[in-house]
Amino acid sequence: MIQMVCSDLDGTLLQYGKKWLEGEIFDQIRALAAHGIRFCPASGRQYTSERKLFAPVAEHCVFLCENGAVLFDGGKVIAKTPMPRQLAEAIAWDFWNDSDGKGEVMLSGENTSYLMSRGRGMVERIAFIGNNYTLIDDPARIPEEIVKVSVYIDAGVNPYAERFVPRWKAANCAVAGPKWIDTTLANKGTGVQALCRALGMQPENVMAFGDNYNDVAMLDLVGHPYIMQSAAPELLQRYANHTPRPEDTLAAFLEQPDREQPL
């Protein structure tokens, strides 16, 4: 039986450039809740951004934030995975210094984004998605634990993936979108595992949707993974279930009389 549905946001529920969710997914989240199924936005975004997006149905949601590094239920942190401070600062300076003057750096706290800006679009993007944020010039000045370090490259991260991903493999470095590379000691898989433990569920009873490499740990963990049809060919080959939209798959699932298994 399905006990929880998890979905990535940017590139999955939210196509790139789209700011708001439509009413259809809210109706589906309410229908899932009526059958005792929790909904979990699973994103690299912070809690404030996720909570705003799902405000009409937030009482039915648990929130996996910062790629699994911070988990919220009922507005409270139920788990957090901080990075060692020395590691986080080293990654931040490496992203800054070895991105050919193109990279901007975001360090994430529990619910604040700390931005090292070069004026190349990152600040505007973070404001667009609704994060709490502040500008900094030195990671050492961040007054809280760091849970994620990201580089934003407005021209696209593909030329830099081979440079950074192997170098910071121990910090789960992964391409998180066309313009983002993330590092964190958590991932969406460990986040979903922690949620399942907290909620008394089994990962095999979870349906999940994703579109990018930072979704792999989550999709590999759950019993019912779906990859977006727009994903990279390697990811389309990795997963048997493809979908153009999570809403389409959820509509078919909710139409089943027993709602025991996804289609």
CA 188 → CA 14, 92, 168, 218, distances in Å? 17, 21, 17, 5
Residue, of 16 and 43, whose pLDDT is higher: 43
C-alpha 170/C-alpha 167 separation (Å) is 8
DSSP string, 162-202: HHHTTTTGGGT-EEEETTEEEE-S--HHHHHHHHHHHHT--
Range 127-141 average pLDDT: 95
> pLDDT digit string (tens) for 213-239?
989 999 999 999 999 999 999 999 999
The owner of tokens 């949707």 is: 209
C-alpha 88/C-alpha 133 separation (Å) is 18
Residue 88 near residue 139 (C-beta atoms within 8 A): yes
- Which stretches of the chain are assigned E, i.e. beta strand? 4-7, 38-41, 62-65, 70-73, 76-80, 103-108, 113-116, 133-135, 148-153, 174-177, 180-183, 206-210, 224-228, 242-243
Range 41-53 average pLDDT: 94
> pLDDT digit string (tens) for 76-91?
999 999 999 999 999 9
